[in-house]
Structure 1
Amino acid sequence: MKVHVMGLEGVGMSALARLLLAEGHGVTGCDLAPGSRCQALLALGAGPVHRGHDPGHLQDEDTLLLPTPIPEDHPEVQEARRRGLRVLHRMELLRDLLAQRPSLGVTGTHGKTTTTGMLASILLAAGLDPWVLLGGEVEPFGNARYGQGPRLAEVDESDPRFQEVRVDVAVVTNLEADHVSPDGRPRPNYHPSYEALMEAVLAFGRRAQALVFPASDPVLARLFRGLSAHPFGAGGEAWAEDLELLPFGSRFHLVHRGRRLGEVRLEVPGAHNVHNALAAGLAALLFGVPFPAVQAGLAQYRGARRRFERLGVYRGALLVDDYAHHPTEVRATLEAARSTGLKVKALFQPHRLGRTQSLWRAFAQSLLLAEEVLVLPVYTAGEEGDKEELARRIAQEVQSLGGKALFLRLEEARAYLEAQAGPGEVWVSLGAGDVNRILKALLGGEG
C-alpha cells in the first residue's frame, strides 16, 4: 500500500504515518505548515512531503488518508476519487489496524493521552511489545510505537467515526459536552448534540468485550447498564486507599475487587492523574497483565508532552505547560499546580470559538484557582470570528468573581512575565494552541 496523508504534521496523522512506515507501506503527504514531525517522517523514509494542498500532489499512491476536518468536496479528495484511489478517514484506518490484533482503546473528554501513555508503560513493563498510537507525545517513543504485541490506541471522541472502532478492552475516562456543535449544525469534528455524543460513546462501548469507566460518573453508569462494564474509583472494582498527593506525584495502595494488591507510585501530579492511573490499571488487569507490571509501568511513566510539562525555571519561577482546554482540565491542572506549594499564576489561551462561546463562564470559575491569570486571544484553529471579545469577557468575569485577571496579547504577556515572574511562583500555560511559545521564548527556545 502507498498512502498519501493529508495534514501530515498533525500529531495523530503523523502517528499513523509512522506506524504505516514501520509496516513497510509507502507514505507521502502534505500539510499547510510542515514542521518537525514531517522532518522526522522524511528521515524514516517518507516522502515527498508537500507544503499546502493541491490535487497535483497525487502521483502513484493507491490510498488517500484524511484527517477529520477535511471535507468531501476538497480538490485533493475529488481528484483521488476520480482516479479510483481508496479514500480513508483516519478513524477508518485506525479501526482496521486495531482489528488485526488483541487491542485496547481509550476515549473520553479528558485524560485520553495520559491514560493511554500509562497503559503503554504498563504493557512495556509486562514485556508485551505493544503497538501504540497516541494523540500526544510521551517518553520514550513519542506519539507512536511499532511492536508485534497487542495494539493500544487513543481513540479521539471528537471524530464521530470513533464509534465504529472495536477493541477488546475499552476505557472511557469521563464524558462532558465537549466537541458538541454550539448551534446543532453538522461539522466534521463536532457531534450535533450531547445526546449524539452519548450515543456514539455507547456504540463504542458496546463493541468492546470489557468496558472500563469511572464509578463516580452517573451518566456513564446509566449509559453502560447491561454491558460488560467495570467501574473504577470509590464504589467500583478498583480504587485507591491511603492516597497521598505529593508536589510532583502521588502514592496510594491499589485495591482490586476488595483485595489490596500493593503500593503504586506516580511521578505525575494531581488527583486527576490518580483517576487516570486507576483507569489504566484496571484496564490492564482485565487484559490479563499481572499487578507487578501494572505497578512498575505506572512508576516508570513520566508524563506526556504538554501535560503538566515542566519546561524550566525563569527568574526563580517554575514554568509549566499544559494542554488543558476545557474547564474541567483547567481546574485539574491548577489544583495540581497548587499542590506544589508555590504561588500559582496562569496564562490561559482559550481554544476554538465555539467551545469558548459555550463555556466562557465555566472557564472563569476554573481560573479562580490561580492567584493571577493572563487571558490571551482565542486560538481559533481556523474558525472565523473575533479572537479577542470572548477572551476579554473571561478576564472580566474572573475579575467580577473576585479574582485577578488581565487580557493581554501574546507579546504583551511575554513582556509581563519578563517583568513580573519571580521566585516562589509557578507559571502555567494553559491551552491547546500555541500559548507555550511564551514560556519557551523566556527560556531561550522557540518563541
Structure 2
Amino acid sequence: MNPIAKILLDMKYVVSGSDIKENVYTLRLKDLGATIYYGHNESNIRLADLVVISSAIKKDNVEYQAAMEKHIPIIKRAELLAMIMEEYKKKIAISGTHGKTTVTSFISHYLSSIGEEPTYVIGSPIKNVNLASQYGKKDFFVAEADESDRSFLFLKPNILVITNIEEEHLDQFENLEDILDTFSKFIERVPEEDSVLIVNGDNDNIKRLNYHGRKVITYGLENDNTVQATNIQYDKHKISYDVTINKKKVAEQISLNIPGIYNVENSLVVFAVAHYFKLSLSQVSKSFLNFDGAMRRFHKIGEADGIVVYDDYAHHPTEIKCTLAAAKSYGKRVIAIFQPHRYSRFSAFYHRFEEALSEADFIIITDVYAAGEDNVSGLTSASLSKLFPANKVRYVQKVSDISQIAVGLIQKNDLVITLGAGDITHVSKEIYQHLKSIFEDENKNS
C-alpha cells in the first residue's frame, strides 16, 4: 500500500491510512503529508471519499464495516493500481511466481536512466534510490502485478511480462491448472493491438499458456528465445554474458552487481522492453553498472571481520534454492536462517524445503510465520529440522533468540543469510550489529 500512497500524494490527493504500528514506511508517508493512524478505528475513515483495502483486510474489520455503513466506496489495492495505470500510454505489468520485484526494478531503473521518467510501483524499494514508487510525468507506467489473490486481473497492461509460473499460493489456487488458467485470463486482458507479451521461454509452464493470439517476445538461456543470454562465463559469484536478439549480438561481456543466474534471466527482460519500444539497447547494459537490485533481494546488511550478512525475501523452495546457490558461489561457508511463511505453503512444500535448504552448510530454522493461518497439517519447523543431520541444523523456536544463538555458531569468513517473508528480516540486522560490536571491542582491547 505504501508505494501507491506515495504516488497519490505526488498526484496531490489527500491521503490517510491505518497500520498496526509505526514503521519506516508510515513515518516516510507522514513526512510526505499523509495522515497516519495506528490501530484500526471507525473514526479513521470519517473524511474519506474512497477506502482502499489490502488483501490482509477482512470484512469484519472495524474500518471496513464503518465504510460500508457510510456507503463510502471500497476497492482493492489492485483496482486503484489499475485506475492509475489507465492514465498512461505505455503500461507495463510484471507478473510471475518469482522475480517480479527484481524485474520491475530493473525496468524502472533503465527507463529512469534514459530520461523516460517512468511512474513505477514496486513491492520493495530499489536500493539505488531507496524508492518503491515514483510519480513520473511521461508515458511509461511500470507495475509489479501480484497474482497471489488473483487481483492482477483488474489490470489491463499493453505490455505483460511473465517471469515464470509454478505452484504457489495454494491457499488461493486449487492447483497448477488453476494458476495457469488465471494467467491465461490475465493475458486476455492485454489489448490485441499495440501490445506484446514478454515471457520466459525456458519455463515449461509458461509454454502451456494460451497466448490468445497476442504478439510474443521470449527471453531466456535456450537457443530458441528472441532475447537470449549467450557465452555465459562464471568467475566465482560474478557472471558475464552476451545478449542476442533474433540471433544478432546486441551486448557483450555484461556483468551484474547482483549474483545468480536467475538475475541474468531477469536482466533480459530489460533488453526485450528496449527492443519492443525501439529504445537504446546500448544504454541497457550501461544502466546495469549502477543497479544494485531491490531491498530484501540478496541484500547485503554488512560485513564484520570477513563475515558477511545478507537478507533475502525468499520463502518458496525455488527461491531459496536459487538464493543459496548464489550465496555458495562466494566460496564461503553458508549459514541459512529460515523462517517459513504461512502454514499452507509450509505443508504444501514441506519436503521441497528440505531439499532447498540442503544447499546451505548450516541451517537455523525458526517457527512458521503464520500470517493468520492455522496449522492444519500438524507439520512444524521442529519436525522439519529433524530431517537434517544433527550437526547441520539448529531449531530455534523464538525469533528473538536467533541472533544470540547464531553469533555463537558463526565462524570466521562465513556468509550468513536470513530467508523468509515474515519478520526474520530484523534478525539479519541484529546479527550484524552484534558481530560488529564484538569485533570493535576486540580491536579496542588488542
Q: TM-score scaled by structure 1?
A: 0.90
Q: Percent identity over the alignment?
A: 27
Which residue is equivalent to 1:44?
32
The answer to whether residue 47 in structure 2 is matched with residue 60 in structure 1 is yes
Query: Secondary structure in 1 aligned to 2:98?
Result: coil
Which residue is equivalent to 2:424?
435
Contact 2:121 2:132 in 1 (8 A): yes
Which residue is equivalent to 2:87?
100
Offset, 1:72: 3.3
Which residue is equivalent to 2:441?
none
Which residue is equivalent to 1:184?
none
Which residue is equivalent to 2:181?
199
Instruction: Return closer, same or farther for 1:386/1:374 CA change in 2, 3 Å cut-off.
Output: farther
Which residue is equivalent to 2:205?
219
Query: Secondary structure in 1 aligned to 2:422?
Result: coil
Query: Secondary structure in 2 aligned to 1:397?
Result: coil
The answer to whether residue 346 in structure 2 is matched with residue 360 in structure 1 is no
CA RMSD of aligned residues (A): 2.0
Instruction: Return closer, same or farther for 1:379/1:331 CA change in 2, 3 Å cut-off.
Output: same
Query: Secondary structure in 1 aligned to 2:389?
Result: helix
Which residue is equivalent to 2:442?
none
1:268-316 deviations in Å (ceiling 9; x for gaps):
0010111111123213322332202222222321111111111112453
Which residue is equivalent to 1:5?
none
Which residue is equivalent to 1:10?
none
Query: Secondary structure in 2 aligned to 1:443?
Result: helix
Provide the C-alpha distance between the structure 2 equivalents of 1:171 and 1:274, rounded to a whole number of angstroms.
16
Task: After superposing the two structures, state which structure 1 stretch, 151-160 or 414-423, moved more.
Answer: 414-423
Offset, 1:81: 2.6
Contact 2:309 2:432 in 1 (8 A): no
Q: State how 1:3-402 maps to structure 2 within 5 Å.
A: 13-47=1-35, 49-101=36-88, 102-138=90-126, 139-149=128-138, 150-181=140-171, 190-208=172-190, 209-225=195-211, 226-233=213-220, 234=222, 235-263=224-252, 264-385=254-375, 389-399=379-389
Q: How many residues align?
A: 422
Provide the C-alpha distance between the structure 2 equivalents of 1:64 and 1:248, rounded to a whole number of angstroms.
46
Provide the C-alpha distance between the structure 1 equivalents of 2:106 and 2:179, rounded to a whole number of angstroms.
25
Contact 2:347 2:379 in 1 (8 A): no
Provide the C-alpha distance between the structure 2 equivalents of 1:280 and 1:405, rounded to a whole number of angstroms.
40
Q: TM-score scaled by structure 2?
A: 0.90
Offset, 1:202: 1.1
**Residue ranges of structure 2 left out of the alignment (5+ in a row):** 435-446
1:63-120 deviations in Å (ceiling 9; x for gaps):
0010012233433223213222221100101111111112111011111100100001
Provide the C-alpha distance between the structure 1 equivalents of 2:280 and 2:304, rounded to a whole number of angstroms.
43
Offset, 1:387: 11
Query: Secondary structure in 2 aligned to 1:156?
Result: coil
Instruction: Return closer, same or farther for 1:387/1:222 CA change in 2, 3 Å cut-off.
Output: closer
The answer to whether residue 419 in structure 2 is matched with residue 444 in structure 1 is no
**Residue ranges of structure 1 left out of the alignment (5+ in a row):** 1-12, 182-189
Provide the C-alpha distance between the structure 1 equivalents of 2:425 and 2:80, rounded to a whole number of angstroms.
31
Instruction: Return closer, same or farther for 1:40/1:119 CA change in 2, 3 Å cut-off.
Output: same
Provide the C-alpha distance between the structure 2 equivalents of 1:306 and 1:245, rounded to a whole number of angstroms.
24
Query: Secondary structure in 2 aligned to 1:337?
Result: helix
Instruction: Return closer, same or farther for 1:343/1:241 CA change in 2, 3 Å cut-off.
Output: same
Provide the C-alpha distance between the structure 1 equivalents of 2:31 and 2:168, rounded to a whole number of angstroms.
36
Offset, 1:205: 1.9
Query: Secondary structure in 2 aligned to 1:305?
Result: coil
